[in-house]
A and B are shown apart, each in its own frame.
Chain A
Amino acid sequence: MKDEFDLSPAQMDALKEIGNIGAGNSATALSQVINRRIDMNVPDVAMVPLEAVPDLVGGPDTIVVGVFLRVYGKAPGNILFLLPQRSAFYLVDTLMGRPVGTTTKLDFMDESALMEIGNILAGAYLNAFFTFTQLAMLPSIPALAMDMAGAILNIVLVQLGQMGDQALVIETEFLSEDDGINGHFFLVPDPGSLETIISAVGVE
């Protein structure tokens, strides 16, 4: 198996470009659903020590809403869409056509709406991924949890932890024009998937 550290700068760039196209697709999809402009930053592609990943979203005890999807196909992995609690409430208010600030707690319908958003984002992302790499991949049914960021990130980190001490994280931040939404979209390939993705891109 290819060790994550062997990635050349060109390969890192290729991954960044994939992340860019995927996230661009997702941002467009999200913007259409909530009818607001969504900006995204250029994706970060980085090898991060496992224990440092929670710091990317404000520290392990920050309260976040996480939508988790397992990715099946030739290059399996995990997708995690993390929203700070405030952003999640803003997003459900917008989706449900309620005045912003109404939601203070997620009910069953709210959770379902957020999971559907996760589904739409993941679908848009993986579609772009397919266009670029010809690797067909499908997301699982989404699952949702609202809890401490560290606890939620455990689900992706544990799997990586069996194979090494670093995580390859393709991460994009979404921002809505009025700053109401600030979400983090993580694609974390399984350790064995990296080689498949790199060879599909065809960059040395």
Chain B
Amino acid sequence: MPELIRVGMADYKVGKAPATVISYGLGSCIGISLYDPQTKIGGLLHIMLPDSTQARASDNPAKFADTGLPLMLNDVLALGASRARLVAKIAGGAQMFAFANATDIMRVGARNAEAAKKMLKDLGIKLVAEDTGGTYGRTVSINLEDGVYTVKTINKGEKLI
């Protein structure tokens, strides 16, 4: 069995083929994967919030899109990935409960998705696939053997992006 690397909320893990990196039960959170298809090195980041500058100082930079992504990028590069070849995929960013007067907090999923895309653009990493929004949870994983990003849901089946 290839190694299964588990990523908790507000955390990231990097690795090499044949490992798979997985994160369970994302709601408004986003799972951002980076992958270099040639060296088969990649990682998965599970962010909770879009912007560290709009929150109190945290001990955990992996909680935010803007601070977490550069950290994971450094680690995949250190493992030997090429920055030019890196591609990104994102999934998550749901709104789990429908309220008529949803506050900003309840729409955080959409803001997370925007922040993730902006950060990827700023870092010059190409976003090649996306499965965001909706009102349902997702379990996401990236297979570092082939770069396939799997999105599992309870009622909407499984999607490979």
Contact = CB atoms under 8 A, between A and B. Distances in A.
A158 B24 contact: no
Given A145-B97, A150-B9, A163 B55 contact: yes
B66 to A, nearest CB: 14
Interface string A150-172: 11111101110111110000000
A77 interface: no
Interface string B46-68: 00110000111011100100000
Interface in A120-174: 140, 143-155, 157-159, 161-165
- Which applies to chain A's interface (DSSP): helix, strand, loop or mixed? mixed
B24 A59 contact: yes
Nearest to A145: B96
A195 to B, nearest CB: 15
State the main secondary structure of chain B at its contact with A. loop
A148 B97 contact: no
A151 B94 contact: yes
B154 interface: yes
Chain A interface extent, by class: 20 to 34
A150 B96 contact: no
Nearest to B108: A158
A50 B59 CA distance: 12
Given A54-B9, A61-B139, A151-B136, A158 B28 contact: yes
B15 interface: no
B137 A148 contact: yes
B133 interface: no
A13 interface: no
Contact of B48 (A63, A66, A147, A154): A154
Interface string A29-47: 0000000000000000000
Contact of A155 (B26, B28, B136): B28
Interface string B108-138: 1000000000000000000000000001111
A153 B55 CA distance: 19
Contact of B10 (A50, A68, A143): A50
B98 interface: yes
Contacts of B54: 162
B25 interface: yes
Interface of A: 50-51, 54, 59-61, 63, 66, 68, 140, 143-155, 157-159, 161-165
13 contacts: A61-B24, A68-B97, A143-B97, A144-B97, A148-B25, A148-B27, A155-B105, A158-B49, A158-B108, A162-B55, A163-B55, A163-B56, A165-B10
Interface of B: 8-11, 24-29, 48-49, 54-56, 58-60, 63, 94, 96-99, 105-106, 108, 135-139, 154
